[in-house]
Chains A and B, each alone.
Chain A
Amino acid sequence: DAGVIQSPRHEVTEMGQEVTLRCKPISGHNSLFWYRQTMMRGLELLIYFNNNVPIDDSGMPEDRFSAKMPNASFSTLKIQPSEPRDSAVYFCASSRGQGAQQPQHFGDGTRLSIL
C-alpha cells in the first residue's frame, strides 16, 4: 500500500519567493496533519484537517503560511513570502479517526532551505 506521499523532497529557494509543499494522504484516512521539524523546536503541529476541514490552525506561525485541502486526496502548505527562518523539514501525516486518537502515518518530508 502506498504511504503518505510528499513533494518535493527538497526545495531550495531565495527569500521572498513563494513555496508550495504538496501532500497525498493514505486513501481512506480522514485526518491530515502538517508538521514542521527543526533542531531547536523539535516537531511542531502547524495545522490539522478532519474530513478536509481545517480544525486547528493555531500552530500556523503567521499569515505568510496557508494550507488547503480541496479534496480527500490532496493538501498543500504554502509560504508566501518565504524567509530564511522558515528553513526546516516539513512533514505531512494522515490517520483514521479524529485528532490524536489513532496512529499517524508520516511522509518522508520536504527539506526546505530558504537562502
Chain B
Amino acid sequence: SQQGEEDPQALSIQEGENATMNCSYKTSINNLQWYRQNSGRGLVHLILIRSNEREKHSGRLRVTLDTSKKSSSLLITASRAADTASYFCATDEGNNRLAFGKGNQVVVIP
C-alpha cells in the first residue's frame, strides 16, 4: 500500500532551533496524521489534519497540508532535548488503514 515518505530522514539541530519535516504521498487521502515515537516506546499521536484543512497548530507544533502537491509539513518551534524522537506521517486512504512512512529521526542537541 502507498505510504507517506518523510524527508529528511534524519535531522540534527541545536536546542532552541526550529525543525521542519516533510511528508509526501501519492494518492488522495481523507486525513493525514503525525506521530512521535521515543526510543523503546509506542507511537504517540500529535496532530490529525483532514483533507479540507490547510493548517493546524498544537502548542509548538504546526502542520500544513497541500493536497494539490500531495505533501504535508511538520514544524517544531523552539526545539527541546525532549523532542528527540522519530516522527512519522500516516495517511488515511479510505480503506480503514493508516499507511505509515518509515519515519524521520530528529536529534536535538542540548
User: What residues make up the interface of A, taking CB atoms closer than 8 Å to B?
Assistant: 4, 42-43, 45, 48, 55-56, 91, 93, 98-109
Q: Give the chain B neighbours of A100 by CB distance below 8 A.
A: 30-31, 33, 90, 92-93, 96-98
Is B75 part of the contact surface with A, judged by Cβ < 8 Å? no
A82 to B55, CA, bound (A): 45
List 4 extra interface pairs beyond A43-B88, A108-B41, A108-B42, CB under 8 A: A42-B101, A56-B96, A100-B30, A100-B96
| Total cross-chain contacts (CB, 8 A) | 56
CB-based contact B30/A101 at 8 Å? yes
Q: Give the chain A neighbours of B92 by CB distance below 8 A.
A: 99-101
Q: Give the chain B neighbours of A93 by CB distance below 8 A.
A: 42-43
Q: Give the chain A neighbours of B88 by CB distance below 8 A.
A: 43
The 8 Å CB contact of B102, one of A42, A56, A104, is: A42
A100-B31, A101-B30 are contacts. A48–B97 as well, Cβ < 8 Å?
yes
CB-based contact A45/B43 at 8 Å? no
Kindly provide the distance from the CB of A82 to the nearest chain B CB, expressed in whole angstroms.
22
Of residues 92 to 110 in B, which have CB atoms within 8 Å of A's CB atoms? 92-93, 95-98, 100-103
A42-B102, A99-B92 are contacts. A56–B97 as well, Cβ < 8 Å?
yes
A45 to B99, CA, bound (A): 8
